[in-house]
Amino acid sequence: MAVASFGPSENLKPVRLTVPEPGPDEVVVKVDAVAVNPADLGMREGRYPWADEPRLPLVPGYDLAGTVEVGNADWPSGTKVIAITEHKNTQIGAYAEFVTLPTRLLALAPEGMDVAQAAALPLAGLTAIEALSALDLAPGATLLVNGPRGAVGSLTVQIAKHRGITVVANGEGPVDAALDTVGGERAQAAFDSVRDNGRYVTVVPEFWVPGGPFTEARGIKPQVVAAQFETDRLRELARLASEGVLTTTVGEEFPLTEAAAAHARLEAGGVRGKLVLIP
Ligand SMILES: NC(=O)c1ccc[n+]([C@@H]2O[C@H](COP(=O)([O-])OP(=O)(O)OC[C@H]3O[C@@H](n4cnc5c(N)ncnc54)[C@H](OP(=O)(O)O)[C@@H]3O)[C@@H](O)[C@H]2O)c1
């Protein structure tokens, strides 16, 4: 599913594209489920900071669960995996039946999770880990998560608790630190809950949802973070999910060919859980 021209959800249409031959340290993965992330909407609309000039038709999609189709010695065909596409740089997304990926973007699929739940893990999980890394909290510290039921928010809550951090809800404070996953003016209350000289991180940049607190005040320096696609972190997420420490919530599944309907659904708002496309 790709956009030949940027625009509304109906611009997302089926296309027939050649799957790139895997190079050294690459495999072809058959996609079993692919998550719809908020950034995919911006990609489709043409308001996304691509590393290079976008090449159309463009296939969105960060997150997938799949099965290695053309493998190598370390990742033989048939291996169940989760993966992230890094398509901000490559422009090779996962709204597809097959995707060619470097093996550093793969982890073994978590045991006990279905493919839709597993596909909801990589981007949100890597973002949560990066946010917690930037906050650098010791066990026992207090953390407020703005948007705790969202994908990034809920995984941050789960990982933080696993690390012994005390997670509190909006309205409680003062706290040592806050993580915002909502952005805009709705992030101000989270910032205001942080104690003087505490820490505040948001995963929602100004260009994406304007109006958030980005000015230093009371010794708190707002920091914007983005997911880092580190192999060790992806595999750690998969391991924690296998151990039952992490779960994800799937809102609704759509056939891949109905990606446009999934985008319209996400845009309409009020979705609980990740929307997932099934090829
Ligand atoms: N920087 C990065 O690398 C990166 C990576 C991933 C995501 N993001 C960004 O992070 C944000 C969250 O992503 P996600 O995947 O976690 O999305 P999500 O699952 O849709 O979660 C969004 C969260 O925002 C909350 N929210 C939405 N509208 C709200 C409102 N009017 N008032 C209060 N809360 C509201 C939701 O709360 P409810 O549960 O109450 O609806 C939910 O908790 C998105 O903007 C996304 O683009 C950034």
**If you average pLDDT over every residue of the chain, what do you get?**
97
The domain spanning residue 153 has which CATH number? 3.40.50.720
Ligand 1 centre to CA of 189 (Å) is 15
pLDDT, one tens digit per residue, over 82-97 is 999 998 898 989 999 9
Do 204 and 256 sit in the same domain of this protein?
Answer: no
Three-state DSSP at 36 gives strand
Quote the DSSP letter at residue 92.
B
What average pLDDT score do residues 95-122 get? 98
Do 41 and 110 sit in the same domain of this protein?
Answer: yes
Ligand 1 contacts CB of residue 147 (under 6 A)? yes
Q: What is the pLDDT of residue 12?
A: 98
Q: Is residue 237 part of a domain?
A: no
Buried b vs exposed e over 147-163: b needs ≥16 C-beta within 10 Å?
bbebbbbbbbbbbbeee
Length of the chain counted residue by residue? 279
Q: What percent of the chain has pLDDT over 90?
A: 94
Using most ligand atoms within 8 A of CB, pick from 201, 203, 208 the residue to mutate for ligand 1.
203
Q: Atom 15 of ligand 1 has which residue's CA nearest to it?
A: 151
H/E segment holding residue 274: strand 274-278
Q: Is residue 243 part of a domain?
A: no
Full domain range(s) for residue 206: 124-224
Q: What is the pLDDT of residue 54?
A: 92
Ligand 1 contacts CB of residue 181 (under 6 A)? yes
Do 153 and 102 sit in the same domain of this protein?
Answer: no
What average pLDDT score do residues 122-131 get? 98
Do 74 and 139 sit in the same domain of this protein?
Answer: no
Q: What share of the chain is helix, strand, coil (3-state, %, to 5)?
A: 30, 30, 40
Q: Is 244's pLDDT higher than 90?
A: yes
Q: Residue 80's pLDDT band (boundaries 50, 70, 90)? A: very high
Ligand 1 centre to CA of 150 (Å) is 5
Q: Is 49's pLDDT higher than 90?
A: no
Using most ligand atoms within 8 A of CB, pick from 152, 155, 156, 204 the residue to mutate for ligand 1.
152
Q: Is residue 234 part of a domain?
A: no
Ligand 1 contacts CB of residue 226 (under 6 A)? yes
CA gap 82, 238 in Å, rounded: 8
Do 37 and 69 sit in the same domain of this protein?
Answer: yes
Domain count, the chain: 2
Q: Which two tokens stand for residue 168?
A: 């509190």
Q: Is residue 61 part of a domain?
A: yes
Q: What is the pLDDT of residue 169?
A: 86
What average pLDDT score do residues 33-58 get? 94
Ligand 1 centre to CA of 151 (Å) is 7
Do 41 and 105 sit in the same domain of this protein?
Answer: yes
Give the nearest ligand 1 atom to 274 CA: 19
pLDDT, one tens digit per residue, over 145-183 is 999 999 999 999 999 999 999 999 888 989 999 999 999
pLDDT, one tens digit per residue, over 191-226 is 999 999 999 999 999 999 999 999 999 999 999 999
Among left, alpha and beta (phi > 0; psi -120 to 50; other), residue 138 is beta
The domain spanning residue 40 has which CATH number? 3.90.180.10
Q: Atom 27 of ligand 1 has which residue's CA nearest to it?
A: 182
Do 182 and 218 sit in the same domain of this protein?
Answer: yes
On whether the pTM is more than 0.85, the answer is yes
What average pLDDT score do residues 119-145 get? 98
Ligand 1 centre to CA of 270 (Å) is 11
Q: What is the pLDDT of residue 21?
A: 95
Q: Is residue 187 part of a domain?
A: yes
